[in-house]
């Protein structure tokens, strides 16, 4: 009114000093009028939820321009004392590089990005449940998916309960998401395995703060047994034996400062020689000697980067060294050369 300009926006509440100038749907853009951008702060509020006030601070580009590309947390407090959920967003101011005017670098032209404060990425082959213990709020993230959380104030420490359903059991653990959290190896336990050191599920958690606070759940190695045989694996120099069931995915992570190699055995065979699983794109042959049965098991090892998450995870596959396929229209039988036994295998 003082500038003799037409009002922009709608007065949603006559007792408030703010006017609504736009409702932004997901992935929608809005060009802020020039005189508003230069003379007014911008406040945010959930559009379709009336349980929160406008943000406790306003977006003022002249303040944000001193720290371009830096993330700033804005919060909308609940109107009801019984409601503990805040509505949070992260604001990042970036220079508009799409402006083609040759003099544009002398003129302020910015894009304000409204981002989720916290995003969970699940790079495990199983679904992950994340529960905020303070709010009793649960978020389920399916394998290969991501989920955003807006009810958490990431500018202060949060305690989260992590749950994974693995091998028909529920595994859980507590994650303290501090403001300086970087990376952690979690040992999830279940009810049956609390008193057994081998009964835990290892999940790696990593966070970065490029824009949103991104939290990644992953395992450095997925071990897949395609041999059809019961395989036991242990890190070299330890007694921590893991069983790889055919058709299931075993999540594996080396212990810190431990030897970075494995040993394998099949049935009651001797442990194999040490072998590594670090180099993606390589193959190898693992031999397990069974002195009781007087035979050797030859297992083919192949290591590849995960297509879901090549940054964090390698896929380790154990397969038969020889695969016999019957492409004829006859039923065949074959047997490994053995003078003492008569063990034929049918090939339909």
Of 85, 115, 145, which one is at a domain's C-terminal end? Answer: 115
In a domain, 1, yes or no: no
Contacts of 315 (CB under 8 A, 6+ apart): 221, 222, 224, 303, 304, 305, 306
Domain count, the chain: 3
- Pair 206, 247 in one domain: no
CA distance readout (Å), 22 to 30, 35, 347: 8, 15, 69
Whether 166 and 100 map to the same domain: the answer is: no
Q: Say whether both 139 and 179 belong to one domain.
A: yes
Residues 201 and 122 in one domain: yes
Closest residue by Cα to residue 200 from 186, 184, 188: 188
- Condensed to tens digits (0 to 9), the pLDDT of residues 194-246 reads 445 456 788 999 999 888 999 999 999 999 999 888 899 999 888 888 888 87
Task: Determine, yes or no, domain membership for 38.
Answer: yes
Chosen domain end from 165, 190, 218? 218
Domain presence at residue 328? no
Tell me, yes or no, whether 252 and 209 share the same domain: no
| DSSP-assigned beta bridge partners for residue 10 | 20
One domain, residues 249 and 304: yes
**300 and 266 belong to one structural domain:** yes
The two most distant CA atoms of the chain are separated, in Å, by 104
Instruction: Quote the CA–CA distance of 89 and 154 in Å, as a whole number.
Output: 10
Beta strand pairing call for 118-122 and 213-218: parallel
For residue 335, is it within any domain?
A: no
* 78 and 125 part of one domain: no
The Cα 141–Cα 10 span in angstroms is: 38
Name every residue whose Cβ is closer than 8 Å to that of residue 290 and which is 6 or more positions away in sequence. 266, 267, 268, 269, 270, 296, 297
pLDDT of residue 207: 93
Q: Within a domain: residue 25? A: no
Residue 149 lies in a domain: yes
Q: Would residue 34 be called left, alpha or beta, if left means φ above 0 and alpha means ψ between -120 and 50 degrees?
A: alpha
| Last residue in a domain, options 53, 80, 115 | 115
Q: Are residues 193 and 101 in the same domain?
A: no
Domain that holds residue 62: 34-115
| Residues of the chain predicted below pLDDT 50 | 1, 3, 194-195, 197
Residue 197 confidence (pLDDT):
45
Give SS3 for 196: coil
Residues 310 and 236 in one domain: yes
pTM for the model: 0.83
73-120 pLDDT per residue, tens: 898 888 887 777 888 899 999 888 777 765 656 678 889 999 999 999
State the pLDDT at residue 297: 87
Q: Please name the residue ranges forming H helices in the chain.
A: 34-39, 61-64
d(CA 59, CA 79): 21
Same domain, 111 and 149: no
Other CB atoms within 10 Å distance of the CB of residue 4: 5
DSSP character at residue 272: P
Does residue 327 lie within any of the structural domains? no
What is the spatial distance between Cα 23 and Cα 158, in angstroms, rounded to a whole number?
Answer: 30
Q: What is the pLDDT of residue 303?
A: 95
Q: Are residues 110 and 124 in the same domain?
A: no
Flag whether 187 is in a domain: yes
């Amino acid at each position: 009114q003082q500038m003799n300009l037409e009002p922009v926006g709608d007065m949603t509440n006559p007792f408030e000093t703010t006017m609504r100038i736009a409702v932004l749907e997901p992935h929608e853009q809005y060009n802020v009028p020039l005189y508003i951008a230069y003379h007014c702060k911008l406040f945010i509020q959930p559009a379709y939820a009336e349980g929160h006030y406008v943000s406790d601070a306003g977006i003022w580009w002249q303040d944000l321009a001193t720290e371009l590309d830096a993330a700033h947390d804005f919060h909308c407090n609940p109107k009801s004392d019984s409601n503990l959920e805040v509505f949070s967003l992260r604001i990042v101011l970036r220079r508009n590089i799409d402006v083609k005017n040759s003099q544009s670098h002398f003129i302020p032209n910015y894009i304000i990005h409204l981002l989720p404060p916290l995003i969970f990425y699940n790079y495990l082959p199983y679904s992950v449940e994340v529960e905020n213990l303070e709010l009793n709020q649960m978020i389920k993230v399916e394998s290969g998916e991501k989920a955003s959380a807006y009810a958490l104030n990431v500018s202060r420490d949060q305690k989260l309960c992590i749950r994974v359903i693995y091998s028909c059991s529920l595994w859980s653990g507590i994650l303290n998401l501090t403001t300086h959290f970087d990376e952690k190896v979690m040992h999830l336990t279940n009810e049956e395995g609390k008193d057994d050191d081998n009964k835990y599920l290892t999940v790696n958690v990593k966070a970065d703060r490029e824009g949103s606070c991104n939290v990644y759940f992953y395992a450095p190695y997925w071990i897949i047994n395609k041999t059809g045989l019961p395989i036991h694996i242990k890190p070299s120099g330890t007694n921590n034996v893991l069983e790889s069931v055919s058709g299931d995915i075993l999540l594996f992570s080396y212990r810190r400062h431990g030897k970075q190699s494995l040993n394998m055995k099949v049935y009651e065979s001797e442990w194999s020689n040490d072998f590594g699983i670090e180099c993606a794109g390589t193959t190898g042959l693992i031999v397990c000697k069974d002195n009781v049965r007087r035979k050797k098991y030859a297992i083919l090892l192949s290591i590849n980067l995960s297509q879901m998450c090549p940054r964090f995870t390698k896929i380790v596959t154990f397969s038969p060294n020889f695969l016999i396929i019957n492409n004829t229209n006859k039923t065949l039988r074959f047997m490994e050369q053995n003078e003492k036994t008569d063990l034929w295998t049918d090939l339909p």
